[in-house]
Structures are given as structure tokens and as C-alpha cells.
Amino acid sequence: MTTNRNVASRSSAAVAVAQEAPRTDDGSAIVEFLGVTLVLLVPVVYLVLVLAQLQGAAFAVDGAAREAARAYVTSSTDEAEGRALAAAGLALQDQGVDADESSLTLTCDGRCDGPDGVVTAHVEADVRLVGVPAFVDALTVPVSASASMPTERFVVRDGP
């Protein structure tokens, strides 16, 4: 019977040692870091990229509208629309916005070619989100801006 006690005392001693031994956390910090990185950091980086792209597009359409209205007002009536379209296209391309996916609308309050008129340029562009393929049209964000410029008060241009 003494052998049974030795076995019993050895097994209870092994259980006590196992309960008292510190557990090692080797490798768990790396797993936690990767989990946090995937769950938190990747969406935050994507959000920053999307917001930067939308801010750049908003800046582009604002500059395009302002330059189109300015180009229209400072040109003769024959070339006014062409110059406004070219100015808007250059302003959009400078900021990396596709000019083919944008539209320019020019309206006049009063006479476009006479004194005391106001020319308003409205530019709209669709911005594709970062990482979204071109065939997915549902994930575009419309961005628009308007700018108004008065025509010169004391200048009358030739035209109708």
C-alpha cells in the first residue's frame, strides 16, 4: 500500500507544480499586434486615402469652376466657351481628376457679353474611390462647385 501512496502523492505533487508554474506567453504579442493591425489600422489608412482623394477632387472642381468663369469673362464672345472648357479641363487635370468624367455648365445672369452681367460656371465630377475597379459605377462620389464672375462694366464686346 505504500506504493499507492507514493503514486498518489507524486500525482498530487505534479498537479501542484503545474498549477504554480507560470504560463509563458511566447508569441502572443505578435498575434495580438497583427490582429489589431488588421482590424484597426488598415481601415483607418483606407479612410485617410479616401478622404484625401475627395478633398483633392473638391479642390479641383472649385478651381475649375473659378477658372472657367474667369476665362469666359475675359475672352471675346467667339472663343469664350472654348476657353472656359479648356481652363476647366486644365484645372481638373492639375489635381488628377479625369476631365472626361466631369461636366461644365455655364449660365449668364443678364447679358454674357455686355456690362453688368454675371457668368456662373458649375463643374461636377464623379470621383472613384481608391481601390475600386472601374467597372463598379455604384461606388463613385459626386463632387461639384460653382463660381460666379461679373462681366466688365465698361466693355461691350462684339456679338449678338
Q: Comparing 2 with 32, which gets the higher pLDDT? A: 32
Region class of 109: left (phi > 0), else alpha (psi between -120 and 50), else beta: beta
**Region 4-25: what's the mean pLDDT?**
57
**133 vs 8, higher pLDDT:** 133
* Structure-model confidence comparison of residues 156 and 131, the more confident one: 131
The pLDDT assigned to 40 comes to 87
Q: What is the mean pLDDT of the chain?
A: 81
Question: Would you state the cell numbers that stand for residue 95, as one nine-digit string?
Answer: 489635381
In the chain, what percentage of residues exceed pLDDT 90?
A: 38
Cell readout for 45 is 489608412
Q: Bigger pLDDT: 13 or 22?
A: 22
Partnered with residue 120 across adjacent β-strands are 107, 148
Q: Which residues contact 30 (CB under 8 A, 6 or more apart)?
A: none
88-96 contacts, C-beta under 8 A, 24 or more apart: 88/64, 88/121, 88/123, 89/64, 91/60, 91/63, 91/64, 91/66, 91/67, 92/60, 92/61, 92/64, 92/123, 92/125, 94/60, 94/63, 95/56, 95/57, 95/59, 95/60, 95/63, 96/56, 96/60
pLDDT 10s digits, 29-57:
888 888 888 888 888 999 999 999 999 99
pLDDT band at 10 (very low <50, low <70, confident <90, very high): low
Instruction: Provide φ and ψ at 150, rounded to 5°.
Output: -80, 145
Read off the pLDDT of each residue in 138-156 and give the average, rounded to a whole number: 84
Q: Tell me how crowded residue 14 is: count the other CB atoms within 10 A of its CB.
A: 10
Asked whether residue 14 carries a pLDDT value surpassing 90, the answer given is no
